[in-house]
Structure 1
Amino acid sequence: MFQTYDSQSDPARHVPRLQALRSALTARKLDGFLVPRADAHQGEYVSARDARLAWLTGFTGSAGFCIVTAERAGVFIDGRYRVQVKAEVDLTHFTPVAWPEVKAAEWLREALAEGGRIGFDPWLHTRREIRELEKALAGSGIGLHPVQGNPVDAIWADQPDAPIGAVRLWSDALAGETAAEKRARIAAMLRDADQQAAVLTLPDSISWLLNIRGADVPKNPVVQAFAIIEEDGRVAVFTNPAKFGPEVRAALGNEVSILPFDALTVALTNLGGPVRVDPATAPEQVFRLIESMSTPISEEVDPVIMPKAVKNEAEIGGMRAAHLRDGAAIVELLCWLDARAAELDAQPLTEIAVARKLEALRAAQGILDISFDTILGSGPNGAIVHYRVTDATDRRIRPGDVLLVDSGGQYGDGTTDITRTLPMGPVDAKVRHPYTRVLQGMIAMSRARFPHGVAGCHIDALARAPLWSDGMDYDHGTGHGVGAGLSVHEGPVRLSRVSDIPLRAGMILSNEPGYYREGEFGIRIENLIVVREAGNPDGRDMLGFETLTLAPIDQRLIEPGLMSASERDWLDAYHARVRDEIGPLVSSEAREWLVAATQPLTV
């Protein structure tokens, strides 16, 4: 149900798989092949059947890809995974490539001669991705060639079956809108745009639209499927029909058809146009099938994405309720950790032991699943941004270690994601100084006020400015969108330098600046925040943030003298709220600890 801690594999065992793939490519007269992390739905989490990148290379991160040629195998990873990848792949056969600094086309131009043939599975790459790569390769003589039948699947003898997780209903009370009302709203968008239908390929879009939840992939309660919604609101869902029981089918009604995946090809080739398809999320093969009948396509964003991102009051209310229970679990953990920290020499404690304790505390609060693999790193492991502890990497926590705990839960009414950084004994100024700068950035974002039309790229710097003042930074975005009882990482809105989507009231995001010193420690502090209307004191309508996450921020790592009076006031007010709202929900021991941990910050 929850996280497993077994190591994925010995890196050396992936070498025969690489050799087998190269033989398969030679047989197909291909000079290389693209192996993405993504499945056909472009989700962060993939089922065991679709974990091709991990199976081939050993790399288990949530983003990246591999390009295999006869001589090279580049594993492309961003700043979150540059430490992790070196521990997971056989570095004599796989070469980590810093991406996006090094582009795939640039790498291919060096790796292949003119006339090189690169294969790709058109179900696993979006139209935009293929189009951009083709453009970047123009003039090189290197061509991209779609293949029928993925060669990785062909050599994966024990590849797991496709998932068939049971579908359940998401109540209208939590959704704040019936599925029929949502279908009517999306259908009206299509009619207004003179579009006959839209193809939906994102499982969270389909799950939100139909008020259903699934169990096909770990941690994200989505139904893996494709769907077509027509201008009259009728929807055809393409998946394994065995997932849908009688209760769910009855609730969906006669205007929602459940069809096997094999029926998708026929449906796509029989659509009347224009058909709305999102080039950023839909597989290249979807476009090819529609185009095979010369049906016109409107390349536009998935029509469900923005309605899903802007939560209504019912959805926000469910998220608030989930965060109360989650906050209680976190406080119980922090109390327990403090008691154990003084005994680390006599009673050893490991990362996995802490993660399992946290899972048990969340289970007591009614968790359905964790919302992502817990990131729990002590000392140098904390510097690995998306570190995932395994039996092989499980580290004993030492006195004086810095412990980074990034975790979340899927509850019956909402999704949580929280990070706290904790001292396991006294630490010196080399930790306290950057910790305080990270906290100042998190507070700056929490207090931000901004006019309508402002995007994540405009305010990302607020969280970084305190770190920048001391020449520090972090190699990940400041925040991601979060689903309401759906995917913990939800598009399209983000707080990052590259997100130009304007923030709107009702959007829920993370606020998580950090700092990482490789080989020593990692720091991240994260709360979830929801965009709210903030009035118009000077005649201009403003937006701001309401904090959803309720758990103490460790004050022992703060250098109070670095903080302004207004920053200290924000922290004191936040802690008073945590004490008032979480205190009644925890044990007497944890309540006593909480009162002490949330006292006003002293200078």
Structure 2
Amino acid sequence: MFQRFDDSTSPDQGPPRLKALRQQLEIESFDGFLIPRADAYQGEYVAPSDDRLAWLTGFTGSAGFCVVLRDIAGVFIDGRYRLQVKSQVDTTHFTPVAWPETKPGPWLKEHLPAPHVMAYDPWLHTLSEIESIEAAGVTLVTTDNLVDRVWADRPAPPVGKITVQPLELAGESHEDKRARLAAQLRDAGHDAAILTLPDSIAWLLNIRGSDIPRNPVPHCLAILHADASLDLFAASEKLTETGDHLGCDIRLHAPEDFLEALAALNGTVRVDKAYAPAIVPQTITAQIAFDDDPCILPKACKNATEIEGARSAHLRDAHAMVNFLAWLDEQQPGLTEIDVVTALEGFRAETNALRDISFETIAGAGPNGAIVHYRCTKNTNRALQDGELLLVDSGGQYVDGTTDITRTVVMGSPAREQQECYTLVLQGMIALSMARFPRGLAGRDIDALARAPLWRHGLDYDHGTGHGVGSYLSVHEGPARISRLSDVALQPGMILSNEPGYYREGAFGIRIENLIVVQDAPQMGDKRDQLSFETLTWVPLDRRLIAVDMLSPSERDWIDRYHATIAEKLSVQGKARDWLEAATQPL
């Protein structure tokens, strides 16, 4: 079993820990301290030793931060976590703050007396974050981590093994990747680039790691030079399985030597201020050129080998999902969310190819489905009731690809209102799936396509429509998104999620998610240069929830074609075969 269902935090733990942290503020004469969700690698998923936000507050969401002052502690959370934070945090001691609507800089300006001194750990915040707070007139100073001082039983940092991602799966050697990126550095007049994102280093060197669950990336740091050589800073015990893969152009160093190496750099050094910890530019004495991590865009644009791997991984995953959904339809009342998660993990494991789940499975029954990033525990576990909706968001990590899929199903017979809301979400997903758009547009330019059916009924959802997905890497990958906030132009090879939703607090949640890959659109009309999407996910929709009378002819045709393709692509046995045949019948 991959997922655990125990509650790792409790609201009761927060107050004494908050008190101990404030004692450190008194000792240092600081007015406050910043506690991010992120670790030094700016990862969404963090090792237990880096889970400071959850340890202090009880909040376990994948994004957010806490600002602890002498008399108030604000927990900043976005729209995905407005419900979750209420159940995990002691709100008599911690104050939930709507973010990004409320920025930390202005909030601090309002709550801090002048003069004021805020402290932060420069390993855990990017320069962009620090500059945005300082722009509000707040004085920030660096310090060692005050949470670590009072976290008596803090776990040790992970030392997971690094493995090789073979050429037949990567599609390009790390020598060629380094040469390609080094040429770009030389063209830009940069002598070196600092790499701090684990998935960037993993992609560049064709390696994978095991330091954190769910995302197969190694905790390490690197400096790429304009001559295509690279300095890799990683614990030696992690590298025992890489053999001769790295070669002589990659120099190995202990992690603790990283800052010394930064200080010794000459020429012009490229630093991505959006991802590199603030301590990086604070340590470099050479000239700094602030620019994007050179790996981010090439990593996002999958090559033909990676796309073919994604297709294979999604077909394998679809077989597991169909077996799961067929099983689910046979279950009697009394089935719980934990039962659902455990069964789905079992069906994925039966593929004999699953390396890990790609994130904690979300199985939200009834009102729990309205918690966007809900994770069931023994304390929250809910039995599925007749007539309720069940939202299941899950994915797998396979060596040839990363999957992420959401299906919402009804237990028993649906109410008309459930069908109407589901169909509006489905119409948005179809609109994005069918989209053709000019080359050069970004996620913000097409996000409205998925929301328009909901908007017409005064409805919406408080999360992005899509995120990038890695190739046996992070399930949430930058830089492209389908979101009103994303200005990154979409390019062929980018794998994205397409996941509109609708959530009614206390009642139900609906989300439908397929993964799609950006492709050159077949020419038509006046042969304008356009892009479109290829669907990667092949799992039936719940026909019981589709209000057919709300669909246009083109939407009905899309669903029927989608289901017919699923029936052609998938070959399952026994009762699952009968279930699939019924599930893919034309509307």
Which category describes the TM-score, using the shorter chain as reference length? Answer: over 0.9
How far has the Cα of 1:10 moved from its partner? 2.6
Alignment partners' CA distance in 2, 1:8 and 1:426: 36
Amino acid at match of 1:521: F
Amino acid at match of 1:144: L
Structure 1 residue 447 corresponds to structure 2 residue 434 = yes
Amino acid at match of 2:270: R
- Show the counterpart of 2:268: 274
Structure 1 residue 552 corresponds to structure 2 residue 543 = no
Matches within 5 A, 1:328-407: 328-340=319-331, 343-344=332-333, 348-365=334-351, 366-407=353-394
Structure 1 residue 587 corresponds to structure 2 residue 573 = yes
- Show the counterpart of 1:564: 552
Structure 1 residue 430 corresponds to structure 2 residue 424 = no
* Aligned residue among 278, 284, 291 for 2:278: 284
Report the secondary structure of 1:250's partner residue.
coil
* Aligned residue among 239, 247, 267 for 1:244: 239
Report the secondary structure of 2:244's partner residue.
helix
- Show the counterpart of 1:23: 23
How far has the Cα of 1:258 moved from its partner? 2.0
Alignment partners' CA distance in 2, 1:311 and 1:298: 27
Alignment partners' CA distance in 2, 1:74 and 1:487: 29
- Show the counterpart of 1:108: 108
Alignment partners' CA distance in 2, 1:10 and 1:496: 33
How far has the Cα of 1:523 moved from its partner? 0.1
Structure 1 residue 130 corresponds to structure 2 residue 130 = yes
- Show the counterpart of 1:225: 220
How far has the Cα of 1:178 moved from its partner? 0.5
- Show the counterpart of 2:583: 597
* Aligned residue among 518, 522, 526 for 1:531: 518
Amino acid at match of 1:204: D
* 1:175-204 deviation line (CA, Å, top 9, x unaligned): 110011111111111111111000000000
- Show the counterpart of 1:51: 51
Amino acid at match of 2:141: H
Alignment partners' CA distance in 2, 1:122 and 1:80: 27
How far has the Cα of 1:475 moved from its partner? 0.3
Amino acid at match of 1:360: G
- Show the counterpart of 1:170: 165
Alignment partners' CA distance in 1, 2:44 and 2:65: 13
* 1:566-599 deviation line (CA, Å, top 9, x unaligned): 00100100101111111x1x22210110000000
Alignment partners' CA distance in 2, 1:10 and 1:465: 39
Report the secondary structure of 2:260's partner residue.
helix
How far has the Cα of 1:106 moved from its partner? 2.0
Given that residues 38 and 46 in structure 1 are in contact (C-alpha distance below 8 angstroms), is that contact kept between their aligned partners in structure 2?
yes
* 1:186-242 deviation line (CA, Å, top 9, x unaligned): 111111111100000000000000000000111000011110000011111112111
* Aligned residue among 441, 448, 451 for 1:464: 451
- Show the counterpart of 1:510: 497
* 1:447-500 deviation line (CA, Å, top 9, x unaligned): 000111111000000000000010000000000000011000000000000101
How far has the Cα of 1:508 moved from its partner? 0.4
Alignment partners' CA distance in 1, 2:363 and 2:251: 43
Given that residues 535 and 541 in structure 1 are in contact (C-alpha distance below 8 angstroms), is that contact kept between their aligned partners in structure 2?
no
* Aligned residue among 152, 155, 159 for 2:150: 155
* Aligned residue among 314, 325, 328 for 2:316: 325
Alignment partners' CA distance in 2, 1:553 and 1:493: 26
Where do 5+ consecutive residues of structure 2 fail to align? none
TM-score, with length taken from structure 2: 0.99
* 1:78-106 deviation line (CA, Å, top 9, x unaligned): 00000000000111111111111111122
- Show the counterpart of 1:179: 174
Alignment partners' CA distance in 2, 1:309 and 1:439: 26
Report the secondary structure of 2:479's partner residue.
strand
How far has the Cα of 1:375 moved from its partner? 0.9
* 1:133-161 deviation line (CA, Å, top 9, x unaligned): 1012x2xxx411111x2010011111111
How far has the Cα of 1:399 moved from its partner? 0.9
Alignment partners' CA distance in 1, 2:225 and 2:547: 58
How far has the Cα of 1:249 moved from its partner? 3.9
Alignment partners' CA distance in 1, 2:316 and 2:522: 30
Identical counterparts, % of pairs: 57
Alignment partners' CA distance in 1, 2:516 and 2:418: 26
- Show the counterpart of 1:304: 295
Alignment partners' CA distance in 2, 1:11 and 1:20: 16
Structure 1 residue 41 corresponds to structure 2 residue 59 = no
- Show the counterpart of 2:10: 10
Alignment partners' CA distance in 2, 1:169 and 1:189: 25
* Aligned residue among 255, 264, 285 for 2:258: 264
How far has the Cα of 1:382 moved from its partner? 0.0
Report the secondary structure of 2:193's partner residue.
strand
How far has the Cα of 1:536 moved from its partner? 3.0
How far has the Cα of 1:412 moved from its partner? 1.8
Amino acid at match of 1:207: A
- Show the counterpart of 1:573: 561
Alignment partners' CA distance in 2, 1:479 and 1:79: 15
* 1:8-55 deviation line (CA, Å, top 9, x unaligned): 233112211000000011101101000000001111100000000000
Alignment partners' CA distance in 1, 2:188 and 2:111: 45
Given that residues 105 and 132 in structure 2 are in contact (C-alpha distance below 8 angstroms), is that contact kept between their aligned partners in structure 1?
no
- Show the counterpart of 1:214: 209
Structure 1 residue 68 corresponds to structure 2 residue 68 = yes
* Aligned residue among 515, 528, 531 for 1:543: 531
Amino acid at match of 1:275: V
Amino acid at match of 1:185: R
Return structure 1 stretches of 4+ with deviation > 2 angstroms: none
How far has the Cα of 1:257 moved from its partner? 1.8
Alignment partners' CA distance in 2, 1:273 and 1:507: 33
